[in-house]
Structure 1
Amino acid sequence: MGDGRRRLMASVAVSYVQSVLDYVGQAGGNPDAVLDAAGVSPDALANSAGRIEAGLFARLFDVAAEQLDTPDLGLAVGSAIRPGHYGVLGYVVMSCETLGEALTRHLRYQRLVADIGEAQLLGLPDGQLRLMWVTSKPPTRQLAEHNLAGWVSYARWITGQALSPTRVLLPHCAPADRRAHDALFACPISFDAGMTALEFPGAYLGLRMTQADPGLREQMDRYARRLLTEYAQSRGAAGQLRHWLRRHLTAGDAQLATAAAALEVAPRTLQRRLAGEGWTFNRLVDDTRRQLALELFTEPGMTGAELAFMLGFSDQTAFNRAFRRWFDMTPGEARNQPERLLASRG
């Protein structure tokens, strides 16, 4: 463990995970059974803004491919991608004026969807462009094919044109039956290529979009920038700790030593990293409780005792004192004046 930085787990947005489950259901499979076999808790998908570990996402694909007896599942799911599966990124991209503008947004905001790898755009000597998915290790067949199929299918959908790459490059060996690949990409495919990429004419960047909407694009751009800032913050020590606290406050064990062990760092290391981000451990615990209190207080039927328990307080009296300190009112006053409580957000 020592003082080294804990390696952050790659993760995938819940909306992206939903693309797999949607296809499984449409194909007559059992999404719940796939989740169970892959070891993904349904609770992990309850928050539409949440994320799951990349390893679980890859496992989900493999389990679904086996359940449906569909070796080309990545291609099939990628072909069915729609804006909602990409979350805010999907709506930013579809509202752009040109495919080039859309691709710029994709490269800028891609981590909102997944951070398994990074899309990079390279120019080639013959006027072609290469869009590569660069990962720390070769992706599974399903993930590689899902990513490229999604890029191609979404580009076709937002331009309203039957676009095809000039070449597709995949890192795995060619399957025994590659008819699905040929039908989808409609171009030469290089397997065992040592990369995950597609090449296309540079002229494609000037293609107009069918649903261009400058007003919506500007609005979605602002939203995406804010989410990207929040994402970056969540990868720091404070963000990791806040995420852990949200799941463990109820246990009443919001202690520095316990949290540090869960985050795989020494307590002093955690304190130093928090200080570097402007926090102390106790202040972050208090602020996380405050945020959760705001979120949970409006739940219908939620009692003060239940709130105190969920936030990890020893009793309701301790919760009431904290509530008054946070919001300058009692829980009872807040229920009678909800607009005053909402004004306390921030």
Structure 2
Amino acid sequence: MSGLSQLPVDVQRPLEKLCLGFERVGYSQDRVLSLIAQHLRPEPAVGQRTVSDYFEAWKIVYAKELPPLCGLHAGAGLPFGVYDVIDVLASSCETVGEGFERIARYFVLVRPGIEYVIDQAAHHPTVRIVDRTRDDDYFFDEWTIGVIFGRFREILAGKFVYAGCSLRRPKPAAPAAIDAAGALLGCDVAFGAKDASISIARDSWDAPLPSRNSRMRDAMERHARELLDEMDATSGSSRRVRELLTEELRGGEPTIERVAKRLATTPRTLQRRLQDENTSFQGELDALRAQLARRYLGDSRLGVSEVAFLLGYADASAFARAFRRWYGKAPAEERLST
């Protein structure tokens, strides 16, 4: 894989954050990109790889190539300001607890589909990270727990630790890695939890932040709300479904169950949201396939069977029937007319 600057623009920023963090634990940018390249799926015949393709490869790297729990250390070492609005907003709050509340409220700006649930009634306030999108991917939980820890440790000049930490991954057979994680976070680390979570001692939760600045907080919160409004205006359910369907088609017939899971919702709720936008899952799938079919058939390098595969059909005959339903002619006729 070439350097970051040679990758699609929408891929560069997320991978840049990843590389910055892992540089702090001894992995150069070139090394990180090389590891990802070893596990990337073959490049699609048409179009570019997506951000999801790169992070699917990274999931394999994190599980098989790297020391367990290293994402905690990499996240903790990520420089302040990389998450711009969220970083400044949280650091300008009155207390640690208020900073956590703002992170939970606006984390969708960093990664949609993740919910932060705060329980202040517990002896130690607890933050639970609910991620139903990737059951077997432990990287993001551990990275996020490390990033948040590093932020507050820096703001409080090293005087910040967690009271507890639970991770979803099974307990690794690496006592030294477990000990190192506990030493970093200042608490015992438990494994095999349904959801990853962290708890913060009450006096730490209520502690004032030296960087508190109400004017900055209010300005950053207005900006965060504006970004959310823009996201809502441009990222309706149908648009997100189409984005995911474009990726899912490469693996065969997409299902609403799989797409709903990636959106951290249920099939029933997703279908209802699509109905509110006067569409349906099958309607979006058909429309996307019809659109892509003409584009792919316009590429003389692709045979009809290859086009059928790219659109998730089991065979060329199923694709031909669908194409005739859409356009009233066979794929071969379409190709002759272009």
Q: TM-score range by the shorter chain?
A: 0.5 to 0.7
Match of 1:160 in 2: 157
- Structure-1 separation of matches of 2:41 and 2:87: 24
- SS of structure 1 residue aligned to 2:161: coil
Query: What code does the residue aligned with 1:60 have?
Result: W
Q: 1:238 to 1:71 in 2, by over 3 A?
A: closer
What does 1:98-177 correspond to in 2, within 5 Å? 98-125=95-122, 127-136=123-132, 138=135, 140-175=137-172, 176-177=174-175
Match of 1:59 in 2: 57
1:131 offset after TM fit, Å? Answer: 0.6
Is the 8 Å Cα contact of residues 13 and 113 (structure 1) preserved in structure 2? no
Match of 1:231 in 2: 231
Is 1:221 equivalent to 2:221 in the alignment? Answer: yes
1:184 offset after TM fit, Å? Answer: 1.0
Match of 1:71 in 2: 68
Alpha carbon RMSD of aligned pairs, Å? 3.7
Q: 1:222 to 1:173 in 2, by over 3 A?
A: same
Query: What code does the residue aligned with 1:170 have?
Result: L
Is 1:194 equivalent to 2:194 in the alignment? Answer: yes
1:14 offset after TM fit, Å? Answer: 6.4
1:228 offset after TM fit, Å? Answer: 0.9
1:25 offset after TM fit, Å? Answer: 4.5
> Which of 21, 24, 28 is the matching residue for 1:23?
21
Q: Using structure 1 for the length normalisation, give the TM-score.
A: 0.56
Q: Residues 161-183 of structure 1: CA distance to partner in whole angstroms, max 9, x if unpaired?
A: 42222211112222223222121
Is the 8 Å Cα contact of residues 19 and 77 (structure 1) preserved in structure 2? no
Aligned residues: 232
5+ long unaligned stretches in structure 2: 1-9, 43-49, 245-258, 260-273, 280-338
Is the 8 Å Cα contact of residues 125 and 205 (structure 2) preserved in structure 1? no
Is the 8 Å Cα contact of residues 72 and 146 (structure 2) preserved in structure 1? yes
Is the 8 Å Cα contact of residues 13 and 112 (structure 1) preserved in structure 2? no
Q: Residues 105-126 of structure 1: CA distance to partner in whole angstroms, max 9, x if unpaired?
A: 111101001124211101344x
Identity across the alignment (%): 20
Query: What code does the residue aligned with 2:76 have?
Result: S
- Structure-1 separation of matches of 2:239 and 2:141: 29
Q: Using structure 2 for the length normalisation, give the TM-score.
A: 0.57
1:74 offset after TM fit, Å? Answer: 0.8
Q: 1:133 to 1:237 in 2, by over 3 A?
A: closer
- Structure-2 separation of matches of 1:58 and 1:146: 15
- SS of structure 2 residue aligned to 1:85: coil
1:189 offset after TM fit, Å? Answer: 1.9
